[in-house]
Amino acid sequence: MSRATEMFFAAWQAADYAGLKIEAIYELLENGEIEADNIDGRWRIRKSAMDAWLDADVSEEELEQLTSKLRHVNEEQARQILKDAQSGQS
């Protein structure tokens, strides 16, 4: 798709598309983890940028960090973490 006809999302639309809370999208945008433009105080996110972020592989370092956090989690806590993640909670 050419840049002229590419679909753009507002932050709330990107959150809905990714199944995340709007606050999580703002944090990702402010940290530069998702490529976007801030035009007159409003974020504009290309659909292709959202797709790239959603498709990105987890680095070994990120996986190790997650694993170390989960080492002390019991089964009930793990189930709650998964349930929260599936519902888009942080």
Residue 56, phi then psi, degrees to nearest 5 = -65, 145
Domain co-membership, 20 together with 51: yes
- Same-domain check for residues 1 and 19: yes
Listed residue (47, 63, 66) closest to 55, CA to CA: 47
Structural domains in the chain (count): 2
Do 45 and 65 reside in the same domain of the chain? Answer: no
Average pLDDT over residues 34-43: 94
Residue 30 has pLDDT above 90, yes or no: yes
CATH number, domain of 49, equals 1.10.1660
Does 85 lie in the same domain as 65?
yes
Average pLDDT, the chain: 85
pTM of the model: 0.60
Q: Domain range spanning residue 20?
A: 1-56
76 or 68, greater pLDDT: 76
